[in-house]
Structure 1
Amino acid sequence: MKKENMKHREIKKIWTVNEQKISPIHTAGPVLPPGAWKNYDPFLLLMEDKFEKGAFDVHPHRGMETLTFVIDGTINHYDSATGDGGTLVKGDLQFMTAGKGVVHNESPADGEKVHLLQLWVNLPRKYKMVNPRYQNMHAKDMPVREEDGAFIRVYSGSSGDVVSNTLNYTPVTFVEMVLESGSSIVQDLPGSYNGFIYVLEGSGTFGENKVEAEKGQAMWLGSTDEESRSEIQVSANEKLRLVLFAGEPLREPVVARGPFVMNTEEEIRQAYRDYQEGKFLDPTN
Protein backbone atom coordinates (compact mmCIF):
# COMPACT_ATOMS: atom_id res chain seq x y z
CA MET A 1 0.00 0.00 0.00
CA LYS A 2 1.59 3.24 -1.12
CA LYS A 3 1.24 6.08 1.33
CA GLU A 4 1.13 8.70 -1.45
CA ASN A 5 -2.12 7.18 -2.77
CA MET A 6 -3.87 7.76 0.55
CA LYS A 7 -6.62 10.39 0.77
CA HIS A 8 -6.86 12.16 4.12
CA ARG A 9 -10.37 12.27 5.51
CA GLU A 10 -11.87 15.29 7.23
CA ILE A 11 -14.66 15.33 9.79
CA LYS A 12 -17.80 16.36 7.94
CA LYS A 13 -20.15 16.69 10.91
CA ILE A 14 -19.99 16.53 14.71
CA TRP A 15 -22.90 16.17 17.14
CA THR A 16 -23.60 15.44 20.80
CA VAL A 17 -25.60 12.36 21.77
CA ASN A 18 -28.33 13.11 24.31
CA GLU A 19 -29.36 10.37 26.70
CA GLN A 20 -33.12 9.92 27.07
CA LYS A 21 -35.02 8.18 29.85
CA ILE A 22 -37.16 5.41 28.36
CA SER A 23 -38.26 3.84 31.65
CA PRO A 24 -37.03 3.64 35.28
CA ILE A 25 -34.66 0.83 34.18
CA HIS A 26 -33.68 2.01 30.69
CA THR A 27 -32.00 5.05 29.15
CA ALA A 28 -31.04 5.38 25.49
CA GLY A 29 -28.99 7.77 23.38
CA PRO A 30 -29.52 7.77 19.59
CA VAL A 31 -26.00 8.02 18.14
CA LEU A 32 -27.42 7.45 14.65
CA PRO A 33 -31.16 8.15 14.94
CA PRO A 34 -33.41 5.95 12.76
CA GLY A 35 -34.84 7.29 9.54
CA ALA A 36 -31.87 8.83 7.71
CA TRP A 37 -31.14 5.68 5.72
CA LYS A 38 -29.59 7.38 2.70
CA ASN A 39 -27.29 9.51 4.83
CA TYR A 40 -25.95 6.58 6.87
CA ASP A 41 -25.85 3.85 4.20
CA PRO A 42 -25.13 0.96 4.91
CA PHE A 43 -25.93 1.76 8.55
CA LEU A 44 -29.51 2.06 9.75
CA LEU A 45 -29.20 3.24 13.35
CA LEU A 46 -26.93 3.10 16.39
CA MET A 47 -28.32 3.25 19.91
CA GLU A 48 -26.42 3.58 23.18
CA ASP A 49 -28.42 1.75 25.83
CA LYS A 50 -28.09 1.45 29.61
CA PHE A 51 -30.64 -0.97 31.04
CA GLU A 52 -31.56 -3.61 33.59
CA LYS A 53 -33.34 -6.93 33.24
CA GLY A 54 -36.88 -6.47 31.92
CA ALA A 55 -36.19 -3.46 29.71
CA PHE A 56 -36.43 -5.61 26.56
CA ASP A 57 -38.65 -8.58 25.84
CA VAL A 58 -38.20 -11.33 23.27
CA HIS A 59 -38.41 -9.75 19.79
CA PRO A 60 -37.88 -10.59 16.09
CA HIS A 61 -35.65 -9.25 13.30
CA ARG A 62 -35.44 -9.79 9.54
CA GLY A 63 -33.38 -8.36 6.67
CA MET A 64 -30.52 -6.81 8.64
CA GLU A 65 -27.59 -7.42 10.96
CA THR A 66 -26.97 -6.18 14.49
CA LEU A 67 -23.61 -5.50 16.12
CA THR A 68 -24.03 -5.45 19.89
CA PHE A 69 -20.93 -4.13 21.66
CA VAL A 70 -20.72 -4.34 25.45
CA ILE A 71 -19.18 -1.16 26.89
CA ASP A 72 -19.68 -2.28 30.47
CA GLY A 73 -21.51 -5.00 32.36
CA THR A 74 -22.62 -8.52 31.45
CA ILE A 75 -25.46 -9.59 29.18
CA ASN A 76 -27.10 -12.94 28.46
CA HIS A 77 -28.65 -13.67 25.09
CA TYR A 78 -30.86 -16.31 23.48
CA ASP A 79 -31.94 -16.88 19.88
CA SER A 80 -34.36 -19.09 17.99
CA ALA A 81 -31.99 -19.72 15.09
CA THR A 82 -29.62 -21.92 17.08
CA GLY A 83 -31.79 -22.66 20.11
CA ASP A 84 -28.83 -21.60 22.18
CA GLY A 85 -27.59 -18.71 24.24
CA GLY A 86 -24.47 -17.27 25.75
CA THR A 87 -22.92 -14.54 27.87
CA LEU A 88 -21.08 -11.40 26.77
CA VAL A 89 -18.96 -9.21 29.04
CA LYS A 90 -17.19 -5.85 28.72
CA GLY A 91 -15.47 -5.55 25.35
CA ASP A 92 -17.31 -8.47 23.74
CA LEU A 93 -19.30 -8.21 20.51
CA GLN A 94 -22.23 -10.17 19.15
CA PHE A 95 -22.51 -9.96 15.36
CA MET A 96 -25.97 -11.27 14.49
CA THR A 97 -27.22 -11.77 10.94
CA ALA A 98 -31.01 -11.85 11.20
CA GLY A 99 -31.43 -12.77 7.53
CA LYS A 100 -34.80 -14.44 6.92
CA GLY A 101 -35.76 -14.18 10.56
CA VAL A 102 -34.76 -14.67 14.19
CA VAL A 103 -36.47 -14.27 17.53
CA HIS A 104 -34.06 -13.36 20.29
CA ASN A 105 -33.54 -11.52 23.54
CA GLU A 106 -30.71 -9.81 25.41
CA SER A 107 -30.93 -9.39 29.16
CA PRO A 108 -28.59 -8.50 32.04
CA ALA A 109 -28.48 -10.65 35.15
CA ASP A 110 -30.80 -9.82 38.06
CA GLY A 111 -29.85 -6.54 39.70
CA GLU A 112 -27.20 -5.66 37.13
CA LYS A 113 -27.12 -2.79 34.63
CA VAL A 114 -25.47 -3.21 31.24
CA HIS A 115 -24.12 -0.41 29.02
CA LEU A 116 -23.90 -1.23 25.32
CA LEU A 117 -24.03 -0.01 21.75
CA GLN A 118 -26.22 -1.68 19.17
CA LEU A 119 -25.66 -0.91 15.49
CA TRP A 120 -28.07 -2.00 12.77
CA VAL A 121 -26.42 -2.74 9.43
CA ASN A 122 -28.47 -3.15 6.27
CA LEU A 123 -28.20 -6.38 4.29
CA PRO A 124 -27.89 -6.26 0.48
CA ARG A 125 -31.05 -7.28 -1.35
CA LYS A 126 -29.51 -10.61 -2.44
CA TYR A 127 -28.76 -11.53 1.19
CA LYS A 128 -31.97 -10.36 2.89
CA MET A 129 -33.25 -13.93 3.31
CA VAL A 130 -30.06 -15.81 4.15
CA ASN A 131 -30.07 -18.21 7.06
CA PRO A 132 -29.51 -16.49 10.42
CA ARG A 133 -25.96 -16.47 11.77
CA TYR A 134 -24.40 -15.54 15.12
CA GLN A 135 -20.76 -14.61 15.68
CA ASN A 136 -20.00 -14.23 19.37
CA MET A 137 -16.69 -12.40 19.52
CA HIS A 138 -14.86 -12.14 22.82
CA ALA A 139 -12.47 -9.24 23.41
CA LYS A 140 -9.68 -11.57 24.54
CA ASP A 141 -9.77 -13.38 21.19
CA MET A 142 -9.81 -10.36 18.86
CA PRO A 143 -6.72 -9.39 16.84
CA VAL A 144 -4.96 -6.30 18.17
CA ARG A 145 -2.84 -3.57 16.60
CA GLU A 146 -0.46 -1.84 19.02
CA GLU A 147 1.69 1.22 18.39
CA ASP A 148 3.25 3.80 20.70
CA GLY A 149 0.50 4.76 23.14
CA ALA A 150 -2.24 3.25 20.95
CA PHE A 151 -4.21 0.01 21.31
CA ILE A 152 -6.68 -0.98 18.57
CA ARG A 153 -8.92 -4.03 18.83
CA VAL A 154 -10.12 -5.13 15.38
CA TYR A 155 -13.59 -6.71 15.47
CA SER A 156 -14.30 -6.50 11.74
CA GLY A 157 -12.30 -5.39 8.73
CA SER A 158 -8.73 -4.27 9.32
CA SER A 159 -6.44 -1.70 10.89
CA GLY A 160 -3.01 -1.32 9.33
CA ASP A 161 -1.66 -4.83 8.83
CA VAL A 162 -4.03 -6.40 11.36
CA VAL A 163 -7.00 -8.17 9.75
CA SER A 164 -9.97 -9.83 11.43
CA ASN A 165 -11.56 -13.05 10.18
CA THR A 166 -15.10 -11.84 10.85
CA LEU A 167 -17.67 -12.91 8.24
CA ASN A 168 -19.51 -10.04 6.54
CA TYR A 169 -22.33 -9.84 4.01
CA THR A 170 -21.98 -6.06 3.98
CA PRO A 171 -18.29 -5.07 4.20
CA VAL A 172 -17.84 -3.34 7.57
CA THR A 173 -14.84 -2.13 9.56
CA PHE A 174 -15.33 -1.91 13.32
CA VAL A 175 -12.46 -1.06 15.64
CA GLU A 176 -12.18 0.04 19.25
CA MET A 177 -9.29 2.41 19.99
CA VAL A 178 -7.66 3.30 23.30
CA LEU A 179 -5.03 6.04 23.09
CA GLU A 180 -2.87 7.42 25.87
CA SER A 181 -2.72 11.20 26.27
CA GLY A 182 -0.60 12.81 23.55
CA SER A 183 -0.52 9.77 21.27
CA SER A 184 -1.77 9.60 17.68
CA ILE A 185 -2.82 6.88 15.25
CA VAL A 186 -4.00 6.65 11.65
CA GLN A 187 -6.84 4.30 10.67
CA ASP A 188 -6.99 3.26 7.00
CA LEU A 189 -10.27 2.67 5.15
CA PRO A 190 -11.41 1.99 1.59
CA GLY A 191 -12.20 5.31 -0.08
CA SER A 192 -15.76 4.18 -0.88
CA TYR A 193 -16.73 3.55 2.76
CA ASN A 194 -19.08 5.74 4.77
CA GLY A 195 -18.13 5.93 8.41
CA PHE A 196 -18.31 7.58 11.81
CA ILE A 197 -16.58 7.77 15.19
CA TYR A 198 -18.15 7.80 18.65
CA VAL A 199 -16.13 8.92 21.69
CA LEU A 200 -16.67 6.74 24.76
CA GLU A 201 -14.10 8.32 27.09
CA GLY A 202 -11.77 11.32 27.08
CA SER A 203 -11.22 13.77 24.25
CA GLY A 204 -9.18 14.14 21.09
CA THR A 205 -8.51 15.81 17.76
CA PHE A 206 -9.78 14.16 14.59
CA GLY A 207 -9.36 14.30 10.83
CA GLU A 208 -7.47 16.47 8.39
CA ASN A 209 -9.44 19.52 9.61
CA LYS A 210 -8.47 18.80 13.25
CA VAL A 211 -11.93 18.75 14.83
CA GLU A 212 -12.03 18.58 18.64
CA ALA A 213 -14.45 16.10 20.21
CA GLU A 214 -15.06 14.60 23.65
CA LYS A 215 -16.99 11.86 25.44
CA GLY A 216 -20.57 11.62 24.19
CA GLN A 217 -19.87 13.19 20.79
CA ALA A 218 -20.05 11.51 17.40
CA MET A 219 -18.44 12.50 14.09
CA TRP A 220 -19.31 11.62 10.51
CA LEU A 221 -16.31 11.12 8.25
CA GLY A 222 -15.95 13.16 5.09
CA SER A 223 -16.02 11.30 1.77
CA THR A 224 -13.08 10.64 -0.51
CA ASP A 225 -12.36 9.31 -3.99
CA GLU A 226 -14.07 5.91 -4.16
CA GLU A 227 -11.21 4.41 -6.15
CA SER A 228 -8.60 5.29 -3.54
CA ARG A 229 -7.60 4.20 -0.09
CA SER A 230 -8.18 6.70 2.69
CA GLU A 231 -7.13 7.37 6.25
CA ILE A 232 -8.41 9.22 9.29
CA GLN A 233 -6.06 10.63 11.91
CA VAL A 234 -6.87 10.42 15.61
CA SER A 235 -4.91 12.20 18.38
CA ALA A 236 -5.61 11.99 22.11
CA ASN A 237 -5.80 15.21 24.14
CA GLU A 238 -6.21 13.01 27.23
CA LYS A 239 -6.71 9.27 27.57
CA LEU A 240 -9.16 8.46 24.81
CA ARG A 241 -11.46 5.52 24.09
CA LEU A 242 -13.59 5.42 20.96
CA VAL A 243 -15.28 3.18 18.44
CA LEU A 244 -15.07 3.60 14.68
CA PHE A 245 -17.55 2.06 12.25
CA ALA A 246 -17.25 2.23 8.46
CA GLY A 247 -18.92 0.29 5.66
CA GLU A 248 -19.59 -0.06 1.97
CA PRO A 249 -22.81 1.80 1.00
CA LEU A 250 -25.45 -0.41 -0.68
CA ARG A 251 -27.42 2.28 -2.54
CA GLU A 252 -30.60 0.19 -2.43
CA PRO A 253 -34.16 1.09 -1.38
CA VAL A 254 -34.87 0.79 2.35
CA VAL A 255 -38.31 0.07 3.81
CA ALA A 256 -38.17 -0.35 7.58
CA ARG A 257 -41.01 -1.11 9.97
CA GLY A 258 -40.19 -1.89 13.58
CA PRO A 259 -37.60 -4.69 13.67
CA PHE A 260 -37.83 -5.55 9.94
CA VAL A 261 -35.74 -3.93 7.19
CA MET A 262 -36.51 -4.87 3.60
CA ASN A 263 -36.60 -3.29 0.12
CA THR A 264 -40.37 -3.06 -0.53
CA GLU A 265 -43.61 -2.59 1.41
CA GLU A 266 -44.82 -6.03 0.32
CA GLU A 267 -41.68 -7.64 1.76
CA ILE A 268 -42.41 -5.91 5.07
CA ARG A 269 -46.00 -7.17 5.06
CA GLN A 270 -44.70 -10.69 4.35
CA ALA A 271 -42.27 -10.39 7.26
CA TYR A 272 -45.12 -9.59 9.65
CA ARG A 273 -47.20 -12.47 8.27
CA ASP A 274 -44.32 -14.91 8.65
CA TYR A 275 -43.65 -13.77 12.21
CA GLN A 276 -47.32 -13.98 13.22
CA GLU A 277 -47.46 -17.51 11.77
CA GLY A 278 -44.54 -18.57 13.93
CA LYS A 279 -42.11 -19.17 11.07
CA PHE A 280 -39.28 -17.26 12.75
CA LEU A 281 -39.18 -19.86 15.51
CA ASP A 282 -38.20 -22.61 13.07
CA PRO A 283 -34.85 -21.97 11.36
CA THR A 284 -35.73 -24.53 8.63
CA ASN A 285 -38.59 -22.35 7.28
Structure 2
Amino acid sequence: MDQARTIKTVITPQPVIEGAGVHLKRSIATRTLSELDPFLLFDHFGSENPDDYLAGFPMHPHRGIETVTYMLAGTVRHRDTLGNAGTIGPGDIQWMTSGRGILHEEMPQPSARLDGFQLWVNLPARLKMTAPRYQDISAAKIPVWTGENGVTIRVIAGEVGGIRGAVTDIAADPTYLDITLPANVAFRRSVPQGHAAFAYLFEGAGTFGIAESDGVSASAPRLLVLDDGDFLAVRAGESGVRFLLVSGQPLNEPIARYGPFVMNTREEIEQTLRELREGTFIR
Protein backbone atom coordinates (compact mmCIF):
# COMPACT_ATOMS: atom_id res chain seq x y z
CA MET A 1 0.00 0.00 0.00
CA ASP A 2 1.29 3.47 -0.89
CA GLN A 3 2.38 5.58 2.07
CA ALA A 4 1.42 9.24 2.35
CA ARG A 5 4.19 11.72 3.02
CA THR A 6 3.47 13.69 6.17
CA ILE A 7 5.05 17.04 7.07
CA LYS A 8 8.25 16.71 9.08
CA THR A 9 9.08 20.41 9.53
CA VAL A 10 7.48 23.76 8.74
CA ILE A 11 10.00 26.50 7.95
CA THR A 12 9.24 30.22 8.07
CA PRO A 13 11.60 31.91 5.57
CA GLN A 14 14.22 34.18 7.13
CA PRO A 15 15.07 37.64 5.73
CA VAL A 16 18.68 37.89 4.52
CA ILE A 17 20.73 40.28 2.39
CA GLU A 18 23.04 38.75 -0.22
CA GLY A 19 25.12 39.82 -3.21
CA ALA A 20 25.67 43.58 -3.30
CA GLY A 21 22.51 44.21 -1.26
CA VAL A 22 19.63 42.02 -2.46
CA HIS A 23 16.83 41.36 0.05
CA LEU A 24 15.76 37.69 0.09
CA LYS A 25 13.66 35.23 2.07
CA ARG A 26 15.76 32.11 2.81
CA SER A 27 14.37 28.72 3.83
CA ILE A 28 17.33 26.34 3.30
CA ALA A 29 20.86 27.30 4.47
CA THR A 30 19.68 28.73 7.78
CA ARG A 31 20.20 27.80 11.42
CA THR A 32 16.85 26.02 11.30
CA LEU A 33 17.65 23.97 8.18
CA SER A 34 21.26 23.98 6.98
CA GLU A 35 20.64 21.60 4.05
CA LEU A 36 18.24 18.94 2.82
CA ASP A 37 20.52 16.56 0.90
CA PRO A 38 20.96 17.12 -2.06
CA PHE A 39 19.52 20.65 -1.69
CA LEU A 40 21.89 23.20 -0.18
CA LEU A 41 20.03 26.51 -0.40
CA PHE A 42 16.59 27.84 -1.27
CA ASP A 43 15.88 31.57 -1.63
CA HIS A 44 12.76 33.49 -2.62
CA PHE A 45 13.36 36.99 -3.95
CA GLY A 46 10.35 39.25 -4.38
CA SER A 47 9.82 42.98 -4.09
CA GLU A 48 8.14 45.95 -5.73
CA ASN A 49 10.90 48.22 -4.39
CA PRO A 50 13.90 48.40 -6.78
CA ASP A 51 16.15 49.33 -3.83
CA ASP A 52 15.65 45.77 -2.56
CA TYR A 53 17.22 44.13 -5.62
CA LEU A 54 18.90 46.42 -8.18
CA ALA A 55 22.37 46.05 -6.58
CA GLY A 56 22.22 42.46 -7.81
CA PHE A 57 24.91 39.81 -7.72
CA PRO A 58 28.07 41.11 -9.43
CA MET A 59 30.59 38.61 -10.86
CA HIS A 60 31.23 35.81 -8.36
CA PRO A 61 32.49 32.18 -8.42
CA HIS A 62 30.87 28.78 -7.86
CA ARG A 63 32.28 25.26 -7.69
CA GLY A 64 30.78 21.84 -6.93
CA ILE A 65 27.08 22.73 -7.22
CA GLU A 66 24.21 23.49 -9.58
CA THR A 67 22.23 26.72 -9.26
CA VAL A 68 18.62 26.90 -10.45
CA THR A 69 16.91 30.26 -10.99
CA TYR A 70 13.17 30.29 -11.72
CA MET A 71 11.57 33.63 -12.52
CA LEU A 72 7.96 34.58 -11.83
CA ALA A 73 8.10 38.32 -12.57
CA GLY A 74 10.68 40.86 -13.71
CA THR A 75 13.93 40.22 -15.53
CA VAL A 76 17.53 39.39 -14.62
CA ARG A 77 20.51 40.01 -16.90
CA HIS A 78 23.28 37.44 -16.65
CA ARG A 79 26.68 36.63 -18.11
CA ASP A 80 29.41 34.12 -17.28
CA THR A 81 32.89 32.90 -18.12
CA LEU A 82 31.49 30.29 -20.52
CA GLY A 83 30.56 33.17 -22.80
CA ASN A 84 26.82 32.99 -22.06
CA ALA A 85 24.94 36.27 -21.76
CA GLY A 86 21.31 37.23 -21.91
CA THR A 87 18.18 37.95 -19.91
CA ILE A 88 15.78 35.62 -18.12
CA GLY A 89 12.22 36.84 -17.65
CA PRO A 90 8.84 35.68 -16.31
CA GLY A 91 8.51 31.89 -16.41
CA ASP A 92 12.09 31.32 -17.56
CA ILE A 93 14.58 28.89 -15.99
CA GLN A 94 18.36 29.13 -15.70
CA TRP A 95 19.98 25.83 -14.62
CA MET A 96 23.74 26.25 -14.24
CA THR A 97 26.13 23.41 -13.45
CA SER A 98 29.23 25.07 -11.99
CA GLY A 99 31.32 21.87 -11.94
CA ARG A 100 35.02 22.64 -11.52
CA GLY A 101 34.44 26.37 -11.65
CA ILE A 102 32.55 29.24 -13.20
CA LEU A 103 32.25 32.99 -12.64
CA HIS A 104 28.91 34.62 -13.33
CA GLU A 105 26.82 37.66 -12.51
CA GLU A 106 23.07 38.08 -12.10
CA MET A 107 21.81 41.66 -12.29
CA PRO A 108 18.07 42.34 -11.85
CA GLN A 109 16.59 45.03 -14.08
CA PRO A 110 14.08 47.72 -13.03
CA SER A 111 10.49 46.47 -13.20
CA ALA A 112 7.13 46.81 -11.46
CA ARG A 113 8.03 43.71 -9.45
CA LEU A 114 10.87 41.21 -9.26
CA ASP A 115 9.85 37.74 -8.10
CA GLY A 116 11.49 34.33 -8.30
CA PHE A 117 13.49 31.58 -6.65
CA GLN A 118 17.02 30.24 -6.50
CA LEU A 119 17.83 26.65 -5.53
CA TRP A 120 21.30 25.15 -5.04
CA VAL A 121 21.67 21.44 -5.77
CA ASN A 122 24.76 19.52 -4.68
CA LEU A 123 26.88 17.60 -7.19
CA PRO A 124 28.20 14.11 -6.40
CA ALA A 125 31.94 13.81 -5.81
CA ARG A 126 32.48 12.23 -9.23
CA LEU A 127 31.04 15.33 -10.97
CA LYS A 128 32.32 18.16 -8.81
CA MET A 129 35.27 18.83 -11.13
CA THR A 130 33.39 18.23 -14.38
CA ALA A 131 33.17 20.88 -17.10
CA PRO A 132 30.67 23.69 -16.36
CA ARG A 133 27.35 23.63 -18.21
CA TYR A 134 24.58 26.14 -18.71
CA GLN A 135 20.90 25.60 -19.61
CA ASP A 136 18.76 28.67 -20.34
CA ILE A 137 15.14 27.61 -20.90
CA SER A 138 12.42 30.04 -21.93
CA ALA A 139 8.93 29.95 -20.47
CA ALA A 140 7.52 28.79 -23.79
CA LYS A 141 9.59 25.59 -23.59
CA ILE A 142 8.34 24.57 -20.14
CA PRO A 143 5.41 22.16 -20.61
CA VAL A 144 2.19 22.56 -18.66
CA TRP A 145 0.11 19.59 -17.49
CA THR A 146 -3.60 20.26 -16.91
CA GLY A 147 -5.59 17.95 -14.67
CA GLU A 148 -9.10 17.70 -13.31
CA ASN A 149 -10.77 20.56 -11.44
CA GLY A 150 -8.47 23.19 -12.91
CA VAL A 151 -5.18 21.83 -11.53
CA THR A 152 -2.15 23.02 -13.53
CA ILE A 153 1.49 21.97 -13.22
CA ARG A 154 4.46 23.62 -14.93
CA VAL A 155 6.90 20.72 -15.35
CA ILE A 156 10.38 22.17 -14.93
CA ALA A 157 12.11 18.86 -14.16
CA GLY A 158 10.76 15.33 -13.74
CA GLU A 159 7.64 13.85 -15.30
CA VAL A 160 3.90 14.38 -14.87
CA GLY A 161 1.31 12.38 -16.79
CA GLY A 162 3.83 11.32 -19.43
CA ILE A 163 5.06 14.91 -19.90
CA ARG A 164 8.81 15.28 -19.40
CA GLY A 165 10.17 18.44 -17.84
CA ALA A 166 12.23 20.96 -19.77
CA VAL A 167 15.38 20.34 -17.69
CA THR A 168 17.03 16.92 -18.12
CA ASP A 169 20.31 15.06 -17.43
CA ILE A 170 20.74 16.34 -13.87
CA ALA A 171 22.73 14.21 -11.42
CA ALA A 172 20.28 14.33 -8.51
CA ASP A 173 17.39 13.09 -10.72
CA PRO A 174 15.25 15.98 -9.46
CA THR A 175 11.59 16.76 -9.77
CA TYR A 176 10.79 20.49 -9.84
CA LEU A 177 7.10 21.34 -10.29
CA ASP A 178 5.13 24.59 -10.06
CA ILE A 179 1.64 23.49 -8.97
CA THR A 180 -1.54 25.60 -8.88
CA LEU A 181 -4.74 24.33 -7.22
CA PRO A 182 -8.04 26.24 -7.37
CA ALA A 183 -10.04 26.84 -4.18
CA ASN A 184 -10.87 23.75 -2.10
CA VAL A 185 -9.48 21.30 -4.67
CA ALA A 186 -7.86 18.11 -3.37
CA PHE A 187 -4.72 16.84 -5.11
CA ARG A 188 -2.33 13.91 -4.82
CA ARG A 189 1.12 13.71 -6.39
CA SER A 190 3.57 10.78 -6.31
CA VAL A 191 7.09 11.46 -4.96
CA PRO A 192 9.80 8.79 -5.32
CA GLN A 193 10.32 6.96 -2.06
CA GLY A 194 13.71 7.73 -0.54
CA HIS A 195 14.02 11.10 -2.24
CA ALA A 196 14.36 14.22 -0.13
CA ALA A 197 11.40 16.50 -0.83
CA PHE A 198 9.94 19.85 0.11
CA ALA A 199 6.98 22.02 -0.85
CA TYR A 200 7.39 25.78 -0.96
CA LEU A 201 4.05 27.53 -0.57
CA PHE A 202 4.20 31.02 -2.12
CA GLU A 203 0.57 31.92 -2.89
CA GLY A 204 -2.61 31.22 -0.95
CA ALA A 205 -3.04 28.51 1.68
CA GLY A 206 -3.77 24.82 2.00
CA THR A 207 -3.50 21.64 4.02
CA PHE A 208 -0.45 19.49 3.24
CA GLY A 209 0.54 15.94 4.12
CA ILE A 210 -2.99 14.64 4.47
CA ALA A 211 -2.92 11.00 5.61
CA GLU A 212 -4.79 9.32 8.46
CA SER A 213 -4.67 12.68 10.23
CA ASP A 214 -5.84 16.02 8.85
CA GLY A 215 -2.39 17.19 7.72
CA VAL A 216 -0.73 20.55 8.34
CA SER A 217 -2.44 23.81 7.39
CA ALA A 218 -0.11 26.54 6.14
CA SER A 219 -0.27 29.86 4.33
CA ALA A 220 2.32 31.58 2.16
CA PRO A 221 5.22 31.92 2.54
CA ARG A 222 6.24 28.60 4.11
CA LEU A 223 8.61 25.75 3.24
CA LEU A 224 7.33 22.32 4.25
CA VAL A 225 9.86 19.49 4.60
CA LEU A 226 8.22 16.18 3.72
CA ASP A 227 8.80 12.92 5.54
CA ASP A 228 9.47 9.82 3.45
CA GLY A 229 6.69 8.03 1.59
CA ASP A 230 5.19 7.57 -1.87
CA PHE A 231 2.96 10.59 -2.39
CA LEU A 232 1.95 14.03 -1.15
CA ALA A 233 -1.74 14.86 -0.64
CA VAL A 234 -2.83 18.51 -0.57
CA ARG A 235 -6.16 20.30 -0.19
CA ALA A 236 -6.30 23.94 -1.29
CA GLY A 237 -7.84 26.60 0.94
CA GLU A 238 -10.63 29.05 0.15
CA SER A 239 -8.36 31.22 -2.03
CA GLY A 240 -6.55 28.36 -3.77
CA VAL A 241 -2.87 27.57 -3.42
CA ARG A 242 0.28 27.67 -5.51
CA PHE A 243 3.47 25.91 -4.49
CA LEU A 244 6.69 24.39 -5.73
CA LEU A 245 7.18 20.66 -5.19
CA VAL A 246 10.86 19.73 -5.32
CA SER A 247 12.47 16.34 -4.73
CA GLY A 248 15.82 14.69 -5.41
CA GLN A 249 18.00 11.69 -4.68
CA PRO A 250 20.18 12.25 -1.57
CA LEU A 251 23.91 11.88 -2.23
CA ASN A 252 24.84 10.76 1.31
CA GLU A 253 28.33 12.20 0.86
CA PRO A 254 30.42 14.43 3.14
CA ILE A 255 29.86 18.16 2.65
CA ALA A 256 32.59 20.78 3.00
CA ARG A 257 31.10 24.21 2.40
CA TYR A 258 32.56 27.69 2.08
CA GLY A 259 30.24 30.32 0.62
CA PRO A 260 29.65 29.50 -3.09
CA PHE A 261 31.94 26.43 -2.97
CA VAL A 262 30.69 22.99 -1.91
CA MET A 263 33.15 20.12 -1.97
CA ASN A 264 33.63 16.87 -0.01
CA THR A 265 36.70 17.74 2.07
CA ARG A 266 38.23 20.81 3.72
CA GLU A 267 41.38 20.22 1.65
CA GLU A 268 39.36 20.62 -1.57
CA ILE A 269 37.99 23.94 -0.29
CA GLU A 270 41.50 25.14 0.54
CA GLN A 271 42.65 24.13 -2.95
CA THR A 272 39.78 26.12 -4.44
CA LEU A 273 40.76 29.22 -2.46
CA ARG A 274 44.41 28.82 -3.56
CA GLU A 275 43.31 28.65 -7.20
CA LEU A 276 41.30 31.84 -6.78
CA ARG A 277 44.33 33.64 -5.29
CA GLU A 278 46.67 32.34 -7.99
CA GLY A 279 44.31 33.04 -10.90
CA THR A 280 43.96 29.38 -11.94
CA PHE A 281 40.33 28.86 -10.85
CA ILE A 282 38.93 29.19 -14.38
CA ARG A 283 40.44 26.66 -16.81
TM-score, structure 2 normalization:
0.89
Paired residues of 1:35 and 1:44 also in contact (CA < 8 A): no
CA offsets, 1:145-166, max 9 Å, x none?
Answer: 1112100011111224322252
Q: CA deviation at 1:85?
A: 0.9
Structure 1: which amino acid aligns with 2:130?
V
Structure 2: which amino acid aligns with 1:140?
A
Q: Specify the SS of the correspondent of 2:58.
A: coil
**Equivalent position of 1:187 in the other structure:** 189
**Equivalent position of 1:260 in the other structure:** 261
Query: In 2, Cα distance between the equivalents of 1:75 and 1:100?
Result: 24
Query: In 2, Cα distance between the equivalents of 1:254 and 1:69?
Result: 25
CA offsets, 1:126-184, max 9 Å, x none?
Answer: 01011111111222211221112100011111224322252201211100011111222
Query: In 2, Cα distance between the equivalents of 1:111 and 1:13?
Result: 35
Q: 1:232 to 1:206 in 2, by over 3 A?
A: same
**Equivalent position of 1:40 in the other structure:** 36
Structure 1: which amino acid aligns with 2:197?
G
Q: 1:64 to 1:113 in 2, by over 3 A?
A: same
Q: Is 1:161 aligned with 2:162? A: yes
Give the stretch that moved more between structures: 54-63 or 135-144. 135-144
CA offsets, 1:201-258, max 9 Å, x none?
Answer: 000111124211111111000113xxxxx11112211221111111100000000001
CA offsets, 1:30-70, max 9 Å, x none?
Answer: 11124788851111111222443223211000000011111
**Equivalent position of 1:104 in the other structure:** 104
**Equivalent position of 1:62 in the other structure:** 63
Query: In 1, Cα distance between the equivalents of 2:121 and 2:32?
Result: 13
Structure 1: which amino acid aligns with 2:204?
G
Query: In 1, Cα distance between the equivalents of 2:191 and 2:142?
Result: 19
Q: Is 1:12 aligned with 2:17? A: no
Paired residues of 1:103 and 1:280 also in contact (CA < 8 A): no
Query: In 2, Cα distance between the equivalents of 1:255 and 1:18?
Result: 23
**Equivalent position of 2:270 in the other structure:** 269
Paired residues of 1:76 and 1:88 also in contact (CA < 8 A): yes
Paired residues of 1:44 and 1:120 also in contact (CA < 8 A): yes
Query: In 1, Cα distance between the equivalents of 2:18 and 2:133?
Result: 30
Q: Specify the SS of the correspondent of 1:168.
A: coil
Aligned match of 1:212 in 196, 209, 217? 217
Paired residues of 1:160 and 1:187 also in contact (CA < 8 A): no
Paired residues of 2:42 and 2:117 also in contact (CA < 8 A): yes
Q: Specify the SS of the correspondent of 2:268.
A: helix
Query: In 1, Cα distance between the equivalents of 2:99 and 2:255?
Result: 15
**Equivalent position of 1:227 in the other structure:** none
Q: Specify the SS of the correspondent of 1:170.
A: coil
Calculate percent identity across the aligned residue pairs: 35
Q: Is 1:128 aligned with 2:128? A: yes
Q: Specify the SS of the correspondent of 2:275.
A: helix
**Equivalent position of 1:250 in the other structure:** 251
TM-score, structure 1 normalization:
0.88
**Equivalent position of 1:117 in the other structure:** 117
Q: Specify the SS of the correspondent of 2:176.
A: strand
Query: In 2, Cα distance between the equivalents of 1:21 and 1:250?
Result: 29
Q: Which runs of 5+ in 2 are unaligned?
A: 47-51
Q: 1:38 to 1:104 in 2, by over 3 A?
A: closer
Q: Which runs of 5+ in 1 are unaligned?
A: 225-229
Structure 2: which amino acid aligns with 1:46?
F
Aligned match of 1:31 in 27, 32, 38? 27
1:146-157 matches, cutoff 5 A:
146-148=146-148, 149-157=150-158
Query: In 2, Cα distance between the equivalents of 1:218 and 1:37?
Result: 10
Q: Specify the SS of the correspondent of 2:135.
A: strand
Runs ≥4 residues deviating over 4 A: 20-25, 34-39, 110-113
Q: Specify the SS of the correspondent of 1:202.
A: strand
Q: Aligned pairs, how many?
A: 272
Query: In 2, Cα distance between the equivalents of 1:80 and 1:177?
Result: 34
